[in-house]
Amino acid sequence: MKIALVCSQGGHLNEMLFLMEAFKKHDIFFITYKNPTTRALKYKKYVVENIGTNIRMMIKAFFQVFKILIKEKPDLIVSTGSEIAIPPYILARFMRIKTIYIESWCRIKTKSGTGRILYYFSNVFLVQWPELVKLYGKKAKYRGAVI
Amino acid sequence: MIFVTVGTHYLGFERLIKEMDKIASRINEKIICQIGSTKYEPKNMNYFTFVEDEEKIAELYKKARIIISHAGAGSIFAALNYQKPLVVVPRLKKYNEHIDDHQLELAEVLEKEGKAVVIYDINNLENAIKKAKKLNYKRNKGNNNLIKFLKNISRGWKMKICMVISTPFPPEEGIGYYTYNLSKKLIEKGHKVIVITRGSWNKTQKEKIEEIEVIKAPFLPIYPFYIYLHGFFVNKIFKSLESQIDIVHLHSPLPPLIKTSRPIITTIHTPMLTDYRQTRITSFHSLFSKISAKLVSYPQELKLIEASDIITTVSNPVAQELKEYNIKPSELIITGNGVDEKFFNYKQKKPEGNIKYIMFAGRIDREKGLFDLVECGRYISKERSDVRFIIAGKGRDFNKLKKKIKKIGLQDKFILTGQVNKNQLVKLYQNATIFILPSYHEGLPSVVLEAMSCGLPVIVTDVRGNRELISNGETGIVIPPRSPKKMAKTISTLLDDEKLRKKLGENARKIIEKNYTWDKISNRFLECYKSTVKESS
């Protein structure tokens, strides 16, 4: 199976790298931000420019990500977060690609902005603290944490 | 070495840095400090403001004996990842160290789980550094539940299934249609299917039939050794595909055995022993096939069963026949037979005219009880003239049956259509008033499923496969086999009772929608597939 791993640099990337063992039998590639820490990433990767809260960059990212998904045709997208996941998850809905979203480990009692949106777009929505399950709702599942 | 880090927040964390500087003057250990936006300049320890090189900071985490950190996710995650003793000092709003007190959240959880020592009063820091020496949180790398969960879920979602069959594809008969319908449903559900079957003798052909990848392996019809020869080619093809395949699904009789570490599921449509017993010796050819069934095919089938993780059958009667094979009950699953309920629909059913059509479809064979049906036709046509019998299909007794009809003089009452295709067949169903199956034994007859799906009232004989499908008086009518008189009476009664016909037809359709759609069957198979994938991981 082909899996797209989507995350921004820093903590989100750290968490994803920690989960790599789960994907080791699959064909994987990253979609991440252009950044010194992701430059060193040894896996196949596509980089997009930092989105942040900039609407124009978000629209641009939609086109970039669409091209990547068309080219790679992944069967599954997994993300540990930050806003870079928003375009691929929304597109995946229309392209019938399955998605798993894992809320960042540092979210214990509060929702993240990305999580709030992707709760409605992901097939499986995981949180890493049991406390968050109640806050998000029925779909959120706690199945352990990265660490 | 002690590594102190306060992250990249735009507010400083003077409280921690000042205290560390004091402690540094008292203890005899090297301290390296990342001070971030803190204005205070330490005098007794090495420090820098921000990290430029990720590798350099990774080095610091690795070398450190103890890590002292604010309660920011990045540094704590790193510290835990390197399994270092950790002292956490949360930034607090009241000292203007952060915009709110959310760092307390993470700090509290870490403390509760024993992953870190948390300092709420900065005067306790020195003491805590001593304490932290003993606290060594162990990361359970091989036993992470989240990783396990992800492994399993990513496996069950999109599977690539390799079906191996021994009959023509695109389908012409039962097993072919079974494979075709199942594959189409699986593809609809997002899985991928490759079908390997027999091809011509000299080359491997590849084609795509409605998104099903079909590979036809070379097949030389040298009986009875073709099994081994064909098996060699199939295995060669399979080896080149193996890395992408999750499940092997064999349909017997009688596909070649696949040598693989992947889970194997075998669906037995007809057991070899049953086939062997039912073969009547009428010619040299049938004698030969009977002998080869016993000496070659049967042992081959045993090997298949042994290599399989799960055996499935289409019906209860077949499962009964398989009792002789000593298969563990946990490995034998009845997945059932299905019908394309959208194609065989009742919506286009034609209104009945003056002439009523009684229909049979299937192999033209003595075992199907067709001679009883002709006999029954004789009784009925004595009483009423509005009945015609339609017999659709071909088979070895076709000519004999024709002769018999002629002999009785019922040529105008019986219509033998010969082989019909799917589109013609559904029109026949929709045109008929009653469907009848007078056979002497049945597995799980697809024709009855199709007729029921078209909302036809059905009359079947009281044999195992039929009994499983029909409850008498509810979804159809069951009559004893080999009894033309009773058959005639039942048909006649049913023809006169439109209300009952309607009730039977509607109930039949309901039962099909409930239990016999390909959607349901494919779900049962997916359960099997998933269970084997999990077991073997």
> Across the interface, do A40 and B55 touch by the CB < 8 Å criterion?
yes
- Each residue's pLDDT tens digit, A6-64: 998 777 888 888 888 888 777 899 999 887 667 778 889 999 988 878 889 999 999 99
Report the chain A residue with the minimal C-alpha distance to residue B103. A106
The nearest CA of chain A is from the CA of B48 a distance in Å of: 19
Contacts of B105 in chain A (CB under 8 A): 108-110
Per-residue pLDDT of chain B in tens (537 residues, 90 and over written 9): 899 998 877 788 999 999 999 998 888 889 999 988 889 999 989 998 877 666 788 888 889 989 999 988 778 878 887 888 889 999 998 999 887 787 888 888 888 878 888 999 999 888 888 777 655 556 555 567 888 888 777 666 678 899 999 888 888 777 888 999 999 999 887 788 999 998 888 888 899 988 899 999 888 877 767 778 888 889 999 998 887 888 899 998 888 889 888 889 999 988 888 778 877 777 787 788 788 888 888 888 889 999 999 999 988 888 888 888 888 887 889 888 889 888 998 776 667 778 899 999 988 888 889 999 999 999 998 888 889 999 998 888 899 999 999 999 899 999 999 988 889 999 999 999 999 999 988 777 889 999 999 999 999 999 888 888 898 989 999 999 999 999 999 999 999 999 999 999 999 999 999 989 998 999 899 888 888 866 544
**pLDDT for position B505:** 93
Sheet arrangement for strand B2-5: B46-48, B31-34, B2-5, B66-69, B86-88, B117-118
Strands B212-217 and B205-209: antiparallel
Long-range residue pairs from B87-90, CB within 8 A, at least 24 positions apart, any chain? B87/B116, B87/B117, B87/B118, B87/B119, B87/B125, B87/B128, B87/B129, B87/B132, B88/B116, B88/B117, B88/B118, B88/B119, B89/B13, B89/B15, B89/B16, B89/B118, B89/B119, B89/B122, B89/B125, B90/B118, B90/B120
**pLDDT for position B219:** 86
> Across the interface, do B147 and A78 touch by the CB < 8 Å criterion?
no
Q: Is the dihedral of CA B195, B199, B201, B204 positive or negative?
A: negative
The nearest CA of chain A is from the CA of B33 a distance in Å of: 20
Q: Which domains does chain A have, with CATH numbers?
A: 2-142 (3.40.50.2000)
DSSP secondary structure string, B398-417?
Answer: HHHHHHHHHHHT-TTTEEEE
Question: How many beta carbons lie within 10 A of that of residue A9, not counting itself?
Answer: 21
The nearest CA of chain B is from the CA of A18 a distance in Å of: 9
Assess contact for A24 and A3: CB atoms under 8 A.
no
- Each residue's pLDDT tens digit, A123-135: 899 998 888 898 9
In sequence order, the 6+-apart residues with CB closer than 8 A to the CB of A100 are A76, A77, A78, A79, A122, A123, A124, A125, A126, B150, B153, B154
**pLDDT for position B537:** 45
Interface probe, candidates B70, B111, B150, B211, chain A, greatest A C-beta count within 10 A: B150
The nearest CA of chain A is from the CA of B93 a distance in Å of: 18
Assess contact for A31 and A65: CB atoms under 8 A.
yes
Contacts of B78 in chain A (CB under 8 A): 14
Shortest CB distance from A11 goes to which of B73, B109, B139?
B73
Using CA atoms, how far apart are residues B171 and B381, in angstroms rounded to an integer?
Answer: 38
Report the chain A residue with the minimal C-alpha distance to residue B56. A37
Contacts of A22 in chain B (CB under 8 A): 146-148, 150-151, 154
The nearest CA of chain A is from the CA of B152 a distance in Å of: 9
Assess contact for B372 and B447: CB atoms under 8 A.
no
**pLDDT for position B139:** 59
- The model carries a pTM of 0.62
Buried-state track A56-88, b at ≥16 Cβ within 10 A, e below 16: ebeeebbebbeebbeeeebbbbbbbbbbbbbbb
- Any idea which of A84-93, A106-115, B125-134, B259-268 has the lowest mean pLDDT? B125-134
Using CA atoms, how far apart are residues B478 and B507, in angstroms rounded to an integer?
Answer: 15
**pLDDT for position B155:** 63
Shortest CB distance from A1 goes to which of B73, B78, B158?
B158
Paired tokens of B59:
């080095």
Report the chain A residue with the minimal C-alpha distance to residue B160. A1
In sequence order, the 6+-apart residues with CB closer than 8 A to the CB of B117 are B86, B87, B88, B111, B128, B131, B132, B135
Interface probe, candidates A8, A17, A18, A93, chain B, greatest B C-beta count within 10 A: A18
Sheet arrangement for strand A27-33: A45-48, A27-33, A2-7, A76-81, A98-102, A124-127, A140-142
**pLDDT for position B459:** 95
